[in-house]
């Protein structure tokens, strides 16, 4: 409840972070198995190599299937053209995440730009096997990167942020903070959204109190879908 001194972060009662703040909240995040958000966009000319590299890509993904929370291609807004790949994967450290990327058949074929790799803690305990996408909706991944004044502005918007998330919780596949490699510093937020279209996704992020409150200095919104390796 917002304004409750026993729950200064404004977390929902069903949230495992309910009532936590300060060092107790930090300890909670550090105790979670490290997850990594990885986004790799295609390099110029990658499209012509994709079909030939697909078998090696899928075999590599299959070897990590028990570690993958969500994964799939990043798409053009109309859903017709693959532009890259993204995943949320549970691995012990950045070195393991980099090894995962370098072993991908797409990477070995020279298809990928240097990846974005950021530690992530999902506040919603779902994985790809837990919820099939609605075929009438679209999936988007929103990377919300903190701006220079985030440390000051986040506490001012935290309670409204959690209340807002609770009101649209069914629209999320996953959501939670992006953190430094050691898990100690907050870098932003990540949302996997299931909505009707890009306009709806943009509105959902725009209405997020941390967006309106100036916490985020950059928002990257990409359409995606579940990958073939998760079928």
Which residue ranges make up each domain of the chain? 131-224
Whole-angstrom distance, CA of residue 177 vs CA of residue 190: 6
Measure CA 59 to chain center.
Answer: 23
Which tens digit of pLDDT belongs to each residue from 106-157?
999 999 999 999 999 988 888 999 989 999 999 999 999 999 999 999 989 9
Question: What count of residues does the chain have?
Answer: 231
**Can you tell me whether residue 45 is helix, strand or coil?**
coil
Whole-angstrom distance, CA of residue 96 vs CA of residue 36: 10
Whole-number pLDDT of residue 20: 72
Give 125-133's long-range contacts (Cβ < 8 A, gap of 24+). 126/69, 126/173, 126/174, 127/68, 127/69, 127/70, 128/68, 128/69, 128/70, 128/71, 128/226, 128/230, 131/173, 133/194, 133/225, 133/226
Measure CA 36 to chain center.
Answer: 8
Q: Is CATH 1.10.3720.10 what the domain over 131-224 is classified as, yes or no?
A: no
- Residues in the chain, pLDDT under 70: 1-3, 8-10, 231
Whole-number pLDDT of residue 8: 67
Beta-ladder partners of 38: 87, 117
Whole-number pLDDT of residue 1: 43
Kindly write down the DSSP assignment for every residue of 123-156, as one continuous string. SS---GGG-PPPTTSEEEEEEEEE-TTHHHHHHH
CA 224 to each of CA 30, 40, 191: distance values in angstroms, whole numbers, following the listed order: 29, 12, 12
């Amino acid at each position: 409840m917002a304004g409750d001194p026993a729950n200064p972060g404004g977390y929902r009662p069903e949230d495992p972070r309910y009532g936590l703040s300060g060092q107790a909240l930090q300890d909670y995040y550090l105790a979670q198995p490290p997850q990594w958000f990885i986004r790799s966009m295609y390099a110029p000319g990658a499209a012509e190599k994709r079909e030939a590299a697909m078998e090696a890509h899928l075999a590599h993904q299959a070897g990590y299937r028990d570690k993958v929370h969500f994964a799939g291609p990043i798409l053009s807004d109309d859903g017709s053209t693959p532009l890259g790949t993204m995943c949320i994967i549970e691995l012990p450290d950045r070195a393991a995440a980099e090894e995962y990327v370098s072993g991908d058949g797409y990477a070995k074929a020279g298809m990928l730009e240097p990846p974005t790799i950021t530690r992530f803690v999902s506040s919603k305990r779902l994985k790809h096997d837990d919820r099939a996408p609605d075929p009438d909706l679209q999936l988007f991944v929103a990377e919300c990167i903190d701006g220079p004044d985030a440390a000051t502005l986040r506490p001012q918007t935290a309670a409204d942020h959690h209340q807002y998330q609770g009101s649209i919780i069914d629209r999320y596949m996953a959501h939670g903070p992006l953190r430094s490699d050691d898990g100690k510093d907050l870098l932003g937020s990540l949302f996997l959204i299931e909505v009707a279209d890009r306009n709806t996704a943009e509105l959902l992020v725009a209405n997020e109190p941390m967006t309106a409150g100036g916490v985020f200095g950059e928002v990257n919104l990409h359409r995606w879908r579940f990958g073939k390796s998760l079928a």
